[in-house]
A and B are shown apart, each in its own frame.
Chain A
């Protein structure tokens, strides 16, 4: 039986070693993430006490189904992305190992203050990774907003501590059930703001444009999949399982999520750079997931997180690679880029279709589940917002795909001579990686029962009252 603390300790140990063994940083990183993947399959679910103090006095790690499925996906994506962009790791090995420890810690911890510590560790590595683009003013902006956000999270946390006298998630959740929720408005809102900075919710996401918009083929997919996924999983954990949100605040926060969704999609529509389109789409998706979590729909929210992070890992890898090679990611200048890289183009297309939610792809399964879930709550305005967002999403993704597949002016037959003058050479490792990830999206779309069997437990465990729908249409047919 493995102790899940190894998932945090091994990357940290290797991070220290990688400072001594300077020349093997990237190998150590791959070793660390591969060992983690193997360890995950030897884990047993349960509660693990750290340091011999029983909770609520000591810190514990909680490995329930929700934590298990999230560490599995985050570690898997982390490994695949590092394999794909192995050439970019170079000196970043140490930072990436620390970030892996932080991400696992955030997903596993059962203590709110411990979550703050891991949140800060992860954020600091994220600031360093964001500075790879050499646009230091954006990294600085991210640092200021991130630090302020986690400061506000800590503020909310301390107010909760002074009320309940505990930092343990399970203990607070138990005490919160009998508390007067109107007195909890301030700490709840402060914690929401703190997590919203990293989760990219609307008024707090000023940093995203500079950081995601300049990320390369290693950092971009990491931010958009491993980091974004972790933040949303943590958001779900805190707001569904730990904190009880009073109904007025809940409506307000759901509206913030819905506004983020619409604003993100609308901003993506007006952009022409590939990575900008993707980053605004990521913002929109975060808003959607937050609205779902706050509505109590854990299972559809988890499905949608998977849809988002798998698709974005593929798309940011290809978009980042194009920008690395050509120095630009303007869709107009890269017309017809996929004609020369058909497999990569196909994976990008699959990822985009899945994100829109077309049948035959995994996205359809997650979208139909979340819509049915919301209808079952007798909420009729949120589906309208989501469907509107989906239409906008369809418009800009299909416009982008048309540009990248068929060069030339409208009304003319597109031939290769209109295609971009840049040569984009996507390496074999990246092609295999993106094909692998997009194959998962197709297989999960054709056989959704497979995903469901692994996921229903995670949805139910987090919130037993949440309706988790088991709506399978094989391949959407």
Chain B
């Protein structure tokens, strides 16, 4: 079920990207999209009744059901990359505001 939550979040993000003209809101939409994607990736590795894939003194036999650790590692990388892009996007937003005095892309559109 959690896959659907991820996909719905991604669609909300894309809807925001398509309809918003405000630079900050576009960055927020982008983050919502990435969040949905991350939820989806995590959900791929989910196993019902699975435990964390760590061998301990309590969980030390191979009969246990583990969740897939790889998607979690992938999400970690994706989050870091998303952070980098968000930071760069905010830097651009600041520059746009300094140059044009507005954050609305439609208002900027006229004066290149």
Name A's B-contacting residues (CB within 8 A).
Answer: 113, 117, 120, 124, 127-128, 131, 134-137, 139-140, 143-144, 147-148, 151, 154-155, 158, 161-162, 167
Contact = CB atoms under 8 A, between A and B. Distances in A.
Contacts of B59: none
A105 to B, nearest CB: 14
A127 B88 CA distance: 8
Contact of B30 (A120, A136, A144, A155): A144
A136 B96 contact: yes
Interface in B60-97: 70-71, 74, 77-78, 81-82, 84-85, 88-89, 92-93, 95-96
Given A120-B85, A148-B33, A158 B41 contact: yes
B105 A137 contact: yes
A158 B109 CA distance: 37
B74 A113 contact: yes
Contacts of A161: 44, 70-71
A147 B34 CA distance: 9
Nearest to A114: B77
Nearest to B96: A136
B25 to A, nearest CB: 11
Nearest to B30: A147
Given A131-B92, A151-B33, A151-B34, A143 B40 contact: no
Contacts of B44: 158, 161-162
Contacts, number: 71
A323 B46 CA distance: 55
Contacts of A140: 23, 26, 89, 92-93, 96, 105
Nearest to B97: A136
Contacts of A137: 96, 100, 105, 108-109
A264 B96 CA distance: 29
A136 B112 contact: no
Contacts of A154: 37, 41, 78
Contacts of B82: 147
Contacts of A113: 74, 77
A333 B99 CA distance: 28
A143 B23 CA distance: 11
A19 B112 CA distance: 33
A135 B37 CA distance: 30
B88 A124 contact: yes
Given A136-B99, A140-B105, A147-B30, 19 more contacts: A117-B77, A120-B85, A124-B85, A136-B96, A137-B108, A140-B26, A140-B89, A143-B85, A143-B89, A144-B26, A144-B89, A147-B85, A147-B89, A148-B30, A151-B34, A158-B40, A161-B44, A161-B70, A162-B44
A168 B11 CA distance: 28
Contacts of B14: 148
A136 B90 CA distance: 11
Contacts of B74: 113, 158
Contacts of A124: 84-85, 88
Contacts of B88: 124, 127-128, 143
A154 B17 CA distance: 18
A151 B40 CA distance: 12
9 interchain residue pairs of minimum CB distance? A140-B92, A136-B95, A162-B44, A120-B81, A136-B96, A147-B85, A136-B92, A158-B41, A137-B108
Contacts of B23: 140
